[in-house]
Amino acid sequence: MDKTIKTELGNIQKVKVEKMYFLYTEVANDPESQQAAWPQFEASFPSLTGRKMFGLDYDDRKAYRVCSLVLDQDEGETYGLDQFEFEGGDYMRLRLNFEPPKLYEMIGPAYGLLIGQYEDSIDWSLPFIEQYKAHNILDIMVPVKGEE
C-alpha cells in the first residue's frame, strides 16, 4: 500500500478508506447538478469550520452525494440533511494539487486516468470518492477489489 506512482496530474497510492458517518444530500450525477448542490449544502451548516467535505459518485444509480463527515460538535443535529454510514474499502487515490478553477477542471481527467489504469480491478459496487482536503487539494479515489 505504500507504493506511490507519480503522474502528470499527481501521485497515485492505494489507500484503505475507513468506515465513516456522513450527513448528505443526493442529486443527479451530472456536473451542473453537482455544482449547484454544493453552495446549498454548505449553507445548511452554521459554520464550515472543521467540516470535512466529500462527493460520492454512485454511477450505477446515476446519483451523487454531497457529504460532510458527522462531527462530535453536531451532537445529533442533522441540519435537515440525511445521514448514512459508509462502510469504506480499498481505493486507488490520485491527489490533485492545483489552484481553482483548474483544480475542478482536472477532476474528469483524474477519473479518466484512474479508470484507465485500474479498470480490471475496479469494485463497481462502491462509489467513486472526491475528498476535499483544502481549497487547492482534492483526492480523487476509485474503489478497487480488496486482496483476499
* pLDDT tens per residue across span 66-112: 999 999 999 999 999 999 999 999 999 999 999 999 999 999 999 99
Q: Do residues 57 and 29 lie in contact, with contact meaning Cβ atoms separated by under 8 Å?
A: yes
Picking from 91, 110, 105, the residue whose alpha carbon sits closest to that of residue 14 is 91
- Would you place residue 2 in the very low, low, confident or very high pLDDT band (cuts 50, 70, 90)? low
Domains of the chain by residue range:
1-18+89-148, 20-86
Q: What residues does 23 pair with on adjacent strands?
A: 68, 83
| Segment 69-74 long-range contacts (CB within 8 Å, at least 24 positions apart) | 69/20, 69/21, 69/22, 69/23, 70/21, 70/22, 70/23, 74/23
Domain spanning 1-18+89-148: CATH 3.30.70: no
Whose cell is 446519483? That residue is 63
pLDDT for residue 46: 95
pLDDT for residue 148: 43
Q: What is the pTM of this model?
A: 0.93
Q: 20-86 has which fold?
A: Alpha-Beta Plaits (3.30.70)
